[in-house]
Chain A
Amino acid sequence: MQVMESAAAVIDARPDIEGLYRTDGDRLWRAIYAFAGDPEIASDAVAEAYTQLLRRGSAVRDPAAWVWRTAFRVSRGSLKARGRDEQVALHQPPHSDAYIDQDLLDAIGQLPDGQRAAVVLFYYADLPVREIADRLGSNSLAVRANLTRGRRRLRDLLGDRDG
Chain B
Amino acid sequence: MGAVAFGTFWEIAMDDLRRRFATLDGVRAPDLWDTIGARAADLGPVATVTPVSEPVLRSRRSPGRPLIVLLAAAALLVALVAGALVMGSGLVKRPAVVPPEVSASLGPIVTPTATPSANPTASAAAQGPVRLVAYTVSEPIKDCQEPERSICNVDRLWTVNPDGTGAHRLPQDSVRGVLGWTSDGSRIMYSDNGNLAMTDATGSTTAIVPSRPWCPAGAKRIDCQITFVEGGAVSSTTLVPDQTLCPAQVRDDNCQANIEEGVAVAPDGSRIGYVLSEGRELDISTVVTFDLSSGRVTRLQSTRSGGPFQCRTSASEGVNGRPTWAPDGTKLAFERQVIGPLRNGACQATVFVVDADGGNLVQLVPERMVALSPSWSPDGTRIAFHSATPRPGYPSDERALTADIYTIRPDGHDLQQLTDDGTSIFPRWTSDGRVVYRHLRSMSDRIETAATWVMDADGGNKTRIAADDIRALTEAGCTVCPYGPASGDAYWQPQP
Query: Which residues on A are within 8 Å of B, measured CB to CB?
Result: 1-7, 9-10, 18, 21-27, 29-31, 33-34, 39, 42-43, 46-48, 50-52, 54-57, 59, 61-62, 64-65, 69-70, 73, 93-101, 104, 120, 122-124, 126-131, 133-134, 136-141, 144-145, 147-149, 151, 154-155, 158, 162
Q: Contact check, B21 vs A104: say whether CB atoms are below 8 A apart.
A: yes
B66 interface residue (CB < 8 Å to A): yes
Smallest Cβ distance from A150 to chain B, in angstroms? Answer: 10
Query: Which residues on B are within 8 Å of A, measured CB to CB?
Result: 13-14, 16-18, 20-30, 32-33, 35-37, 39-40, 43-50, 52-53, 62-66, 85-87, 142, 147-148, 150-151, 173-174, 193-194, 220-223, 226, 242-243, 252-253, 255-256, 258, 277, 281-283, 307-309
Smallest Cβ distance from A130 to chain B, in angstroms? Answer: 4
* Complex-state Cα separation, A99 to B64, whole angstroms: 36
Q: Contact check, A140 vs B17: say whether CB atoms are below 8 A apart.
A: no
| Closest chain B residue to A70, Cβ basis | B151
Contacts A62-B226, A95-B28, A124-B24 known; A134 to B48 CB distance under 8 Å? Answer: no
Smallest Cβ distance from B12 to chain A, in angstroms? Answer: 9
Chain B residues with CB below 8 A from A137, complex form: 62-64, 148, 150-151
Q: Contact check, B23 vs A104: say whether CB atoms are below 8 A apart.
A: yes
Smallest Cβ distance from B283 to chain A, in angstroms? Answer: 7
Q: Contact check, B174 vs A61: say whether CB atoms are below 8 A apart.
A: yes
| Closest chain A residue to B141, Cβ basis | A59
Q: Contact check, B45 vs A1: say whether CB atoms are below 8 A apart.
A: no
Chain A residues with CB below 8 A from B46, complex form: 5, 52, 55-56, 59
Enumerate 23 A-B pairs (CB-CB under 8 Å) in ascending A order. A5-B45, A7-B45, A21-B33, A26-B29, A43-B32, A55-B40, A55-B43, A56-B48, A62-B193, A62-B223, A64-B223, A73-B147, A95-B27, A98-B25, A101-B23, A120-B21, A123-B18, A124-B24, A128-B252, A130-B242, A138-B63, A139-B64, A141-B86
Determine which of A51, A124, A141 lies in contact with B36 in the assembled complex, contact meaning CB atoms within 8 Å.
A51
| Closest chain B residue to A97, Cβ basis | B28
* Complex-state Cα separation, A95 to B194, whole angstroms: 37
* Complex-state Cα separation, A5 to B252, whole angstroms: 36
Determine which of B16, B32, B87 lies in contact with A50 in the assembled complex, contact meaning CB atoms within 8 Å.
B32
Q: Contact check, A133 vs B45: say whether CB atoms are below 8 A apart.
A: no
Q: Contact check, B28 vs A151: say whether CB atoms are below 8 A apart.
A: no
Q: Contact check, B242 vs A128: say whether CB atoms are below 8 A apart.
A: yes
Determine which of B29, B35, B151 lies in contact with A69 in the assembled complex, contact meaning CB atoms within 8 Å.
B151
Smallest Cβ distance from B155 to chain A, in angstroms? Answer: 11
Q: Contact check, B30 vs A126: say whether CB atoms are below 8 A apart.
A: no
* Complex-state Cα separation, A163 to B351, whole angstroms: 43
Contacts A1-B52, A122-B253, A140-B256 known; A99 to B23 CB distance under 8 Å? Answer: yes
Chain A residues with CB below 8 A from B150, complex form: 137
* Complex-state Cα separation, A55 to B27, whole angstroms: 29
Determine which of B27, B48, B307 lies in contact with A96 in the assembled complex, contact meaning CB atoms within 8 Å.
B27
Chain B residues with CB below 8 A from A139, complex form: 63-66
Chain A residues with CB below 8 A from B281, complex form: 147-148, 151
Q: Contact check, A30 vs B252: say whether CB atoms are below 8 A apart.
A: no
Chain A residues with CB below 8 A from B28, complex form: 93, 95-97
| Closest chain A residue to B86, Cβ basis | A141
Chain B residues with CB below 8 A from A55, complex form: 40, 43-46
Contacts A5-B46, A69-B151 known; A29 to B26 CB distance under 8 Å? Answer: no
| Closest chain A residue to B280, Cβ basis | A151
Q: Contact check, A93 vs B27: say whether CB atoms are below 8 A apart.
A: yes
Q: Contact check, B32 vs A138: say whether CB atoms are below 8 A apart.
A: no
* Complex-state Cα separation, A89 to B226, whole angstroms: 38
Smallest Cβ distance from A110 to chain B, in angstroms? Answer: 15
* Complex-state Cα separation, A28 to B18, whole angstroms: 17
Chain A residues with CB below 8 A from B258, complex form: 130, 140
* Complex-state Cα separation, A113 to B281, whole angstroms: 20
Determine which of B14, B32, B142, B256 lies in contact with A129 in the assembled complex, contact meaning CB atoms within 8 Å.
B256
Chain B residues with CB below 8 A from A138, complex form: 63-64
Q: Contact check, B223 vs A29: say whether CB atoms are below 8 A apart.
A: no
Q: Contact check, A7 vs B48: say whether CB atoms are below 8 A apart.
A: no
Determine which of B45, B253, B255 lies in contact with A9 in the assembled complex, contact meaning CB atoms within 8 Å.
B45
Smallest Cβ distance from B66 to chain A, in angstroms? Answer: 7
Smallest Cβ distance from B375 to chain A, in angstroms? Answer: 23
Contacts A47-B32, A130-B194, A139-B66 known; A30 to B18 CB distance under 8 Å? Answer: no
Top 5 A-B pairs ranked by shortest CB distance? A98-B26, A95-B28, A29-B29, A26-B29, A51-B39
The listed residue with most A CB atoms (<10 A of its CB), out of B26, B65, B222, is B222
